[in-house]
Amino acid sequence: MIVLHEISRRYQMGGETIHALRQVSVRIQRGEYVAIMGPSGSGKSTLMNVLGCLDTADGGRYELNGVDVSGMDDNQLAEVRNKEIGFVFQTFNLLPRSNALHNVELPLIYAGVTQAERKQIALEALRRVGLEDRIHHKPNEMSGGQRQRVAIARALVTKPSIILADEPTGNLDSRTGAEIMELFEELSRQGNTILVVTHEEDVARHARRILRIRDGNIASDDVVADAGRSGAALPAIGADAVASPALKALGEGR
């Protein structure tokens, strides 16, 4: 579960104070599929950075699975990111000289997983996204959609509490973008908690809930009544229902 309570974030630009977030409060349950929308300068990117533990708020409280992460230091936040949050970026952020398998293994290397185990986990993640026949291909040998699938597999291997996707279809054509959104729908049916930041209405409507951000506030919070879901769910590869021991230890150690 994600709980934000009166989160504020301010920036100084010259002599001006920019209020990127103004006492934002929101609760996101485990397994929800939420789109975050807003125009440029609305605060949606700042909200994404706070949720992803890439930035810290000036005020308020952020709880992830019952643990307060808002006061953690940089090293603790880095550990939370590696173990609890799976990132999917618009630009894929793959290592260009490494093949798909090694790119997916990377978070597991940082987590200290043994070579044999991480290979098995990475192979399974690539199979889940339909790339079992591309494990030895490098990014420049794959299409944009295939590269984004590698990025999604990489986000899944640590079984994160949140999958956080920033404009995941931004560099894809419309057909490939639709295929990626279908994959997110499959992951949602498996019980994964998915947050998608987008400025595209058709992308947002794949989610079950849309948060619209304007001027640092949540302008609306709507359930998507016609979010289409079809097909059988795949076996779950998402996060557990409660905070991991590592996250609990971080919260208790402060």
Both tokens of residue 58?
């000036």
What tens digit of pLDDT does each residue of 84-141 get? 999 998 889 999 999 999 999 999 998 889 999 999 999 999 998 999 999 999 999 9
Q: How far is CA 135 from CA 104, 138, 211, in A?
A: 9, 8, 36
Quote the number of domains for the chain: 1
Range of the domain at 219: 2-252
User: Two tokens at 106?
Assistant: 């990377």
Look over the chain and give the mean of its residue pLDDT values, rounded to a whole number. Answer: 88
% of the chain surpassing 90 pLDDT: 72
- Residue with the two structure tokens 């929308």: 37
**CATH at 160:** 3.40.50.300
Rounded Cα distance between 142 and 139, Å, is: 5
Of 176, 234, 221, the residue nearest 203 (C-alpha): 176
- What is the value of pTM for the model shown? 0.83
Q: What is the pLDDT of residue 82?
A: 86
